[in-house]
Structure 1
Amino acid sequence: MKKWRYASGQLDLTLVSESFGTYLAFFYLEKLGLSAAFYALARTVYAFWDAINDPLFGHLSDRTKTRLGRRRPWLLVGVPLFLLFYLLVFWVPDWARSPQVLPYYFAVGIVLYETMATVVWTNYGALFPEMFRGLSERAGAAALKRGTELFGLILGIALTPLVYAQVGFLGMALLYGGLGGLLVLLFLKSIREDPKAQEAEPLPFIPAFRYTLGNQAFWIYSLAALFLLFAVGLFGAAMPFYAKYALGLGPEATSLLFASVLLSALPSVLLWARLAGALGPKGAWLLAIFLLALGALLLFLPRTLLEALPVGLLIGVGFGGVLVLGDVLLAEVIDRDAEVTGRRREGVYYSVYGFINRLSGPLQALSFALLTPLFGYVSGEVPGPRPEAAFRFLMAGPPFLATLLALALAFRFPYGAKGRMPGAGSS
């Protein structure tokens, strides 16, 4: 039951986060006419604030001591605000839709939303290494967690074009925010933290981050994960454009493309949990990254929906492996740090990891910005002379390069070889 309770939180947060991350660009660029250049600028500027708030919230979470635990108080406060700001991003009143106001409304909205996303995801992720110990238990919990996440992706991404086509983006936000809020609160009521994790005196701010930022294995893993998240995120953000311009299809076909990825990823998580034992977490991770890279390269080719669907299936299998094995390998990095410092510091690690991951947002935005000088695409109102080539490039080129970089880094990761991963019982 502990695994199921924890995994239910992943479903709730995924439903909201992925609908935001996937359709934010489409809503503001195509529907409201925000320029791709300003979209890129706003996401990049936010990254500087993220550099401050991520480590701050992670450190404060590690230092929190209450009868409810270290993470639950932050989640109880952060989740309602997270859902409120999600709603406000998609609720754009008439006065905010003018070209003079819309860029500022967009910028403020994403700063508020992403700040609360930092609080929520950092504290949720920090529960994983504390609650689950050992390769077998972690692989099983990660498979279940990622399986529910993929179900959330099916709801939050693959079905969303059908949802907003019927009720609009505001209706979508109300529906997903309400459902996600209900399920997250149920998850929070059932989770109990280990009181022993609060016993050791937390490290001061500077030593805590000195140990974290000096951890070479953590940097190798985090940079590889950044490139993978960028690739997968760009698949999602570019998919509606790819379907429209490269394949000449509508929202229903977009849903089918997303479904081909997610429905193949969902059953694959069980396979990857087994491969973690058979190949070692690192060996299975390398295989998953290779499949993603191959899928990205093949996306240059399809001209019809039937040609694109098999590529989506391949990407989905690789995506499932990246999700499951990433949880296991990051938890191992944190365990080995606890052996050195004598303290479990999941909050700091997940906050720094979360900040590095959120750099994928500006990277995706900069990829969109490249479309103007390379292909003449400005917005849905000014698509330029070659929108098909623009979004075929966006869907395949940057993701393929990113997965190759991730593969090179993954080869250098020092832990997770078959038969050499310890039981992760440190505390």
Structure 2
Amino acid sequence: MQKRRDHSSAERLGGRTTHPLRYAVGMFGTSIPINLLRTYAAIYCIDQVGITSKQFSIILFVYTIVDVLNIFWFGYLSDRTQTRWGRRKPWLVVSTPLLVFSLIGFFSLPFSEGNVWIGVYLGIFYILTTALDLIINLNYGSLFPELFPEIKTRIKTNLLRQAFQVAAMVISIALTPVITERFGYLSVAVIYGVLAWFMIWFSAFGCHERFHHQPKVKVTFTESFSMVMREKNLWTYGFATAFYSISFALFMQSMPFFIKYALHLDATRTSLIFFVVLLVTVVGMGVWGRISCFFSALNVLRVGTAIILFGFFLLLFSNDFLTLTLFSSLIGFGIAGVMISSDLVGALLIDRGYEKHKKRLEGVYSSFFNLMYRVNGIFIGFAFFLVEQFYHFSSGTSPGDAPDQAAKFLFVVFPLATAILSLLMTFFISNDNDNTQYVANETHLKEGE
């Protein structure tokens, strides 16, 4: 207890404090580009550009492999970086403009339809954009447990940043179909990219890293990698978030397919339903934020995941726009619970790692979290591969004989299966990560015990 108290006191006294709002607004900037890419790359590539579902699945597979090969090096290098700006800020400042230019490159296709190089071009820029997004999110996420060591501040800050994330989703997901129908994807990519650039830099230059956290004892890549790999809770938490991310990603990416091919509605309905779902998510975050003050983040994560699972089950019986809206809104409410709790559980795992190893390895831990989240590319690519194999849905010009069933498989069946796996994995995470233990420690500190 004495060691925990001394460590927390040092965190309070060292360096300038960062205002939660200034840090949280960065989530708005980091979310806009990747939401645009992940949500609309499939419909853009398959339905508009004309590459096949199998080709798109290959792009997702290759990007995932590249991320797996690079991700721990990114975290390791971030932990070892030492500048007068801190460890994370230089990566955020340099990577952001590169991300913007890469996003614009993806949506500015220089080839005419049918060119054999289209798939290669799209693959290169998709991989480059996601790699730069990985660097940005890894370093941005690593700041969270370091800048805000107290659980009450974490809950407040996480609520703010998730609110900014949902705001970014409203713009980059809900409004995109309407805007692109008039101006095209390239114009949208430029607007979103510039907005993201400003927001990320505004946040990064307002974050004050605690310089006494700069590593004084160098840890080799092998040592840091080994420390993380031996943590059982990291694996169970990682698999839970990975399966959740598959459900979430397919829910977003397949919605336009389901509305077009199963319900035979126009793109404006896609915007409308995304807006409703995200509105429910915002309201839900307020509800879950209050609940998080009384229940552990792990239990909130379990309940939120269970609600998502139930929502996908109900979607099996959805055959009109009204039921789609209602059941999707239920999923949105569950997503809010996961968004509020997931990062808190991750931060507590990083705290446990520090208590065990006495080394600041936020970058390596964040690399692992991002790795488990990003392996969803393999499974999502597999889902698109299965759609072509089972339903012969190849592209917008060759949708097969049952495009409605293909869309339902992508939108409901596959996500339902991964949601079940996600919920099961949350019950293998140890309960010793209950945030009430940290609240109690803070109370002892204030009382001088």
Query: Partner residue of 2:337?
Result: 321
Deviations 1:160-182, CA, capped at 9 Å, x for gaps: 00110110011111111111112
Of the three residues 317, 341, 353, the one matched with 1:301 is 317
Of the three residues 214, 222, 231, the one matched with 2:247 is 231
Between the aligned partners of 1:8 and 1:202, the Cα distance in structure 2 is: 32
Report how far residue 145 of structure 1 moved.
0.7
Q: How does 1:377-396 map to 2 (within 5 A)?
A: 377-396=393-412
When residues 16 and 357 of structure 1 are mapped into structure 2, their CA distance, relative to the original with a 3 A threshold, is same
1:251 partnered with 2:250: no
Of the three residues 80, 100, 113, the one matched with 2:97 is 80
Report how far residue 418 of structure 1 moved.
7.0
Report how far residue 134 of structure 1 moved.
2.5
Q: Would you say the 8 A contact 1:332–1:424 is kept in 2?
A: no
Q: How does 1:36-51 map to 2 (within 5 A)?
A: 36-51=53-68
Gaps of 5+ in 2: 1-17, 443-449
Query: Partner residue of 1:336?
Result: 352
Deviations 1:185-210, CA, capped at 9 Å, x for gaps: 22222111111110432311111010
Query: Partner residue of 1:267?
Result: 283
Amino acid of the residue matched to residue 49 of structure 2?
Answer: L
Query: Partner residue of 1:371?
Result: 387
1:34 partnered with 2:51: yes
Of the three residues 257, 261, 271, the one matched with 1:241 is 257
Query: Partner residue of 1:360?
Result: 376
Secondary structure at the aligned position of 1:192 is classed as coil
Deviations 1:75-112, CA, capped at 9 Å, x for gaps: 111111111101101110135x4331101101211121
Report how far residue 356 of structure 1 moved.
1.8
When residues 108 and 424 of structure 1 are mapped into structure 2, their CA distance, relative to the original with a 3 A threshold, is farther
Query: Partner residue of 2:14?
Result: none
1:220 partnered with 2:236: yes
Q: Would you say the 8 A contact 1:202–1:343 is kept in 2?
A: no
Between the aligned partners of 1:386 and 1:403, the Cα distance in structure 2 is: 25
Report how far residue 257 of structure 1 moved.
1.5
TM-score with structure 1 length normalisation?
0.96
Query: Partner residue of 2:146?
Result: 130
Q: Would you say the 8 A contact 1:15–1:152 is kept in 2?
A: yes
Report how far residue 403 of structure 1 moved.
1.1
Amino acid of the residue matched to residue 58 of structure 2?
Answer: L
Identity %: 28
Gaps of 5+ in 1: none
Deviations 1:354-376, CA, capped at 9 Å, x for gaps: 12211112211211111112112
Query: Partner residue of 1:140?
Result: 156
Q: How does 1:152-163 map to 2 (within 5 A)?
A: 152-163=168-179
Amino acid of the residue matched to residue 338 of structure 2?
Answer: V
Between the aligned partners of 1:421 and 1:295, the Cα distance in structure 2 is: 33
1:3 partnered with 2:17: no
Query: Partner residue of 2:15?
Result: none
Mean CA deviation greater in 126-135 or 323-332: 126-135
1:61 partnered with 2:61: no
Query: Partner residue of 1:15?
Result: 32
Amino acid of the residue matched to residue 44 of structure 1?
Answer: F
1:70 partnered with 2:78: no
Q: Would you say the 8 A contact 2:107–2:185 is kept in 1?
A: yes
Report how far residue 46 of structure 1 moved.
2.3
Between the aligned partners of 1:282 and 1:353, the Cα distance in structure 2 is: 16
Of the three residues 110, 115, 133, the one matched with 2:131 is 115
Amino acid of the residue matched to residue 407 of structure 1?
Answer: L
Deviations 1:32-82, CA, capped at 9 Å, x for gaps: 100111111121122222112110010000001111000001111111111
Deviations 1:112-169, CA, capped at 9 Å, x for gaps: 1122112111101101010112322111111111011001001010110011011001
Between the aligned partners of 1:389 and 1:98, the Cα distance in structure 2 is: 27
Report how far residue 30 of structure 1 moved.
0.4
Between the aligned partners of 1:89 and 1:12, the Cα distance in structure 2 is: 18
Amino acid of the residue matched to residue 329 of structure 1?
Answer: V
Report how far residue 424 of structure 1 moved.
7.8
Query: Partner residue of 2:447?
Result: none
Q: How does 1:137-216 map to 2 (within 5 A)?
A: 137-216=153-232
Between the aligned partners of 1:335 and 1:71, the Cα distance in structure 2 is: 18
Between the aligned partners of 1:149 and 1:202, the Cα distance in structure 2 is: 35
Report how far residue 332 of structure 1 moved.
0.3
Between the aligned partners of 1:38 and 1:420, the Cα distance in structure 2 is: 49
Q: Would you say the 8 A contact 2:152–2:439 is kept in 1?
A: no
Of the three residues 118, 133, 139, the one matched with 1:102 is 118
Amino acid of the residue matched to residue 358 of structure 2?
Answer: G
Secondary structure at the aligned position of 1:278 is classed as coil
Between the aligned partners of 1:307 and 1:339, the Cα distance in structure 2 is: 48
Amino acid of the residue matched to residue 271 of structure 1?
Answer: V
**Residue-pair matches, total:** 424
Between the aligned partners of 1:124 and 1:419, the Cα distance in structure 2 is: 25
Between the aligned partners of 1:189 and 1:419, the Cα distance in structure 2 is: 32
Query: Partner residue of 2:109?
Result: 92
Between the aligned partners of 1:153 and 1:221, the Cα distance in structure 2 is: 24
Q: Would you say the 8 A contact 2:215–2:360 is kept in 1?
A: no
TM-score with structure 2 length normalisation?
0.92
Q: Would you say the 8 A contact 1:277–1:418 is kept in 2?
A: no
Q: Would you say the 8 A contact 2:261–2:407 is kept in 1?
A: yes
